[in-house]
Amino acid sequence: MTFQAQAFAIAGLIGLYAGLIRGQNVLSLLSLASLLWIFSEWLLFFIQVRFQLPRLRLARLVNGEADSNRSLWAERSLDVQIQWRESVRFHAATLEVMDVLPENLEVLYSDKGVGSNNSSIDASSLRRVKHLQPSRSWLVSSFHRFVDRTVDEMPNKRSLGTGEWENGWRYQVRVRSAGNVVFSGFRLTFESTHGLFRYEKFEKCEQSFRALPSFVDSGEYRSLTKKSNVIPRHGIHRLLRSGMGSELLELREYMPGDPFKSIAWKVSAKRDQWMIRQYESEVPARVQLIVDGSSTSRVGGFGARLLDQMTFVAASVGRMAINSGDPVGVAVCDERGIRRLPPMSGEKGFQILLRTLSDFSVNPSPPPCALNQRMIDAVWALLSQRFPELLDFKVNQLPFFFFPVFPGSRGRFRLRFLIVGALAEIYGLSTQEQVALIHNDHAFARRIQVLLNASGIPWIAPVVASAESQDREPIGRLSQLAECISSVVGHARDNEVIVVMSDLLNCVSVLEFLLPAVKLAVAKHHRVSFVCPTTTFQRPYPSGAFRFSGTWTADDLLLIAEQSRLQIQAEQLQRELHRCGASLSVSGEKNAIRLILSELDAVKMGRSKSQGALR
């Protein structure tokens, strides 16, 4: 029974009473008629809920397929089609169906849907819904909403009016980041014709996909120093590319860092400039990728996490290295421990690498956090969306209690009772545990965190306290990273490229816990490169690069302030790492990829210093 129905009933009862007392027959008749009309509305609604609604069957096709357990790609669009398996026409009610989407998906809206005869939607022409609405004044937008209520409708939601029916609808979404994509089901809101009664239900229709990280495989990202990039054909084992073999490949100009023994003296004398002999490579250079997925790199929405930048760089480097025949290994470490995969090559190896990165991108259980109101609001919203039937006052009843007395506190306490009742049903808790959850803030917060995390909510403010609080103990994180590097070095052969991807910008003061492992790797003739992702997704600007512009906004100024902070931290970090013989790239995904490719080239050509060691 909605508020509308309750208000109608109260007005009807009062009107009936007043009419009978004062002997105003028409008033009595109107009031009584309205009460009977509400009752008939309920009766019709009940019949439809009881007998018609269970016949409704919905199915979802993702990219034209109904089965799940397949792979999707991050940052690409998906075509989702919803079908009514058995269409039911409701003559005295309206139905709203919403496909509940995981947080890892972003709904796309078609520009070309309006004002175009082209029936197909190009993925490149899709843009986000929130940017579609032009800015309007409150009055204009209110009137617009009154005239056309379809404006606020989302593509993943569909309303069927009284007597309407259809076969289904389609919409498009974009995968934000690597990890899991779980379509949980449909939220059905069934309402009587005049909105007096409402029934909400969550229809399970689970489809689970693994989202693989996106990568680039373009010539734009090739290192300038790498001249030959030929994949050996089947049956030919000699690698026709520059390296430290015995067969001469080509002559080229000298570049700083090239070994003196490779100088072609006669040719240099003839051309009057330093020339270098390049030999064929006999041994492929190995790349070892180390990805640090600690708490700091997982905080934030999907697609905006530092981890997403790292997986992108790792996948891109893996693709390019495997394309040129270099085996790629990966080691991942976080609170769950260290996992290492030996270097692999070929398409199969690349698929294993992607799957490993994808599984690693799934957020583990978040670190414990104190209970706060935002957390309660978040879990209430989630439960209302996915478990509306468990929050019904009729079934989730509350005991009588005196305290708290004040209405606000009392309301919050009742809300907590309801949430705990639903949580107890979801996790099968005993009544004793239920009472403990009601009165123990810590246990309640922990259970909420688990539910939010299991429901695919990213590590945002309600789930974890904040990024800063997670960064209080960088020593343990660096120690684990050092252990991971040592493990990789222990299993590596000579002269490999070790790429460490970790958020180190806030750990400059405690870097001594990491540096011994780096020194060990360098001492064993490996090349060590660090990639530090940044929250701004950009390389820090060089000092003094800012010139005042009259059009700067507050956001621009905040970005500049953040960039300045990053610049200082990056300089300190670079200084420390260079002392140990490691190179550093601070975000700039393209630059990070270029740096690693340059290091790879340097290993193949035996140069002591890589070209394009960008920071």
Partner 1 sequence: MSAYLDADPAESTTEWTQPSLKRWKMFRLVGSILQLLVVAFLFEMLIGVSDAIGAPLRLFLFTVFMAGVAVRAGWLSMIAIQFSLLLQSPVRGQLAQVATGFFWVMVAMLTIISAMKLPRAHRSVTDYILKSAGLRKQTSDTKQTIPLSVVSLAVQLLQLTLAVVFAVVILLNIPIGRQSGRWLQSSVQSGQAFWPGTLWLVLLVALFVVARELTWRKIDGKQASVYLRSVQLIANYRDLYRFDRERHKRQKRESDAIPPTPLPTSTQTATKRSKLLKRNAKDMTDSKGAT
- Judged by CB under 8 A, the chain residues 181 through 240 that form the site for partner 1 are 193-195
Q: Which stretch binds partner 1 (CB under 8 A): 266-274, 427-435, 490-498, 528-536?
A: 427-435
Per rule CB under 8 A, is residue 2 in the interface with partner 1?
A: no
- Site residues (CB under 8 A) for partner 1, limited to 383-412: 389-390, 392, 394-401
Q: Which is nearer to partner 1, 50 or 234 (CB)?
A: 50
Asked whether 387 and 454 are in contact (CB, 8 A), the reply is: no
The pair of structure tokens assigned to 206 is 């689970």
Minimum Å gap between C-beta 186 and partner 1 is 16
Q: Which is nearer to partner 1, 33 or 561 (CB)?
A: 33
Q: Which is nearer to partner 1, 37 or 541 (CB)?
A: 37
Alpha helices in 272-324 (DSSP H): 295-298, 306-323
Asked whether 527 and 603 are in contact (CB, 8 A), the reply is: yes
Asked whether 309 and 589 are in contact (CB, 8 A), the reply is: yes
Minimum Å gap between C-beta 294 and partner 1 is 25
Minimum Å gap between C-beta 514 and partner 1 is 25
Per rule CB under 8 A, is residue 287 in the interface with partner 1?
A: no
Q: Which is nearer to partner 1, 103 or 425 (CB)?
A: 425
Q: Which is nearer to partner 1, 77 or 480 (CB)?
A: 77
Of the residues 137, 246, 431, 553, which one makes contact with partner 1 according to CB under 8 A: 431
The residue assigned the tokens 């939220």 is 187
The pair of structure tokens assigned to 247 is 């067969």
Query: For the chain, first and last CA: distance in Å?
Result: 63
Neighbours of 104 (CB within 10 A): 26
Per rule CB under 8 A, is residue 525 in the interface with partner 1?
A: no
d(CA 110, CA 398): 46
Q: Which is nearer to partner 1, 233 or 394 (CB)?
A: 394
- Site residues (CB under 8 A) for partner 1, limited to 80-99: 80-81, 89, 91-92, 94
Asked whether 595 and 223 are in contact (CB, 8 A), the reply is: no
The pair of structure tokens assigned to 312 is 């992108």
Q: Which is nearer to partner 1, 79 or 562 (CB)?
A: 79
Per rule CB under 8 A, is residue 123 in the interface with partner 1?
A: yes
Among 261, 347, 343, which residue's Cα sits nearest to residue 526?
Answer: 343
Of the residues 101, 102, 107, 110, which one makes contact with partner 1 according to CB under 8 A: 110
Minimum Å gap between C-beta 11 and partner 1 is 5
Q: Looking at residue 513, what DSSP letter applies?
A: G
Q: CA 566, 568, 572: angle at the middle one, nearest 5?
A: 110
Question: Which strands form 328-334's sheet, in the order they lie side by side?
Answer: 337-344, 328-334, 287-292, 497-501, 527-532, 583-586
Minimum Å gap between C-beta 350 and partner 1 is 12
* 93-100/179-192 β-pairing: antiparallel
Q: Which is nearer to partner 1, 154 or 395 (CB)?
A: 395
Give Cα 130 distance to the centre of its chain.
Answer: 18
- Report how many residues bind partner 1 under the rule CB under 8 A: 102
Per rule CB under 8 A, is residue 8 in the interface with partner 1?
A: yes
Minimum Å gap between C-beta 53 and partner 1 is 10
Per rule CB under 8 A, is residue 380 in the interface with partner 1?
A: no
Tell me the DSSP string of 15-60: HHHHHHHHT-HHHHHHHHHHHHHHHHHHHHHHHIIIIIGGG-EEEE
Q: Which helix (H) or strand (E) holds 523?
A: helix 515-523
Question: Which strands form 126-128's sheet, in the order they lie side by side?
Answer: 57-62, 77-86, 168-175, 105-110, 126-128
Q: Would you call the peptide bond into 404 cis, given omega within 30 degrees of 0 as the criterion?
A: yes
Per rule CB under 8 A, is residue 120 in the interface with partner 1?
A: yes
Per rule CB under 8 A, is residue 33 in the interface with partner 1?
A: yes
The pair of structure tokens assigned to 75 is 């940052």
Minimum Å gap between C-beta 194 and partner 1 is 5
Of the residues 42, 380, 427, 541, which one makes contact with partner 1 according to CB under 8 A: 42
Site string for partner 1, 44-83 (x = CB under 8 A): x-x--xx------------xxx----xxxx--xx-xxx--
Per rule CB under 8 A, is residue 31 in the interface with partner 1?
A: yes
| Partner residues linked to 59 by β-bridges | 83
Q: Which is nearer to partner 1, 169 or 541 (CB)?
A: 169
Q: Which is nearer to partner 1, 293 or 421 (CB)?
A: 421
Of the residues 181, 211, 320, 422, which one makes contact with partner 1 according to CB under 8 A: 422
The pair of structure tokens assigned to 226 is 């790498």
Q: Which is nearer to partner 1, 14 or 545 (CB)?
A: 14
Q: Which is nearer to partner 1, 82 or 378 (CB)?
A: 82
Of the residues 85, 122, 377, 493, which one makes contact with partner 1 according to CB under 8 A: 122
d(CA 513, CA 485): 12
- Site residues (CB under 8 A) for partner 1, limited to 433-472: 434-436, 439-440
Minimum Å gap between C-beta 538 and partner 1 is 29
Asked whether 331 and 339 are in contact (CB, 8 A), the reply is: yes
Cα–Cα distances (Å) from 13 to 2, 34, 301, in that order, read 17, 9, 51
Per rule CB under 8 A, is residue 171 in the interface with partner 1?
A: yes
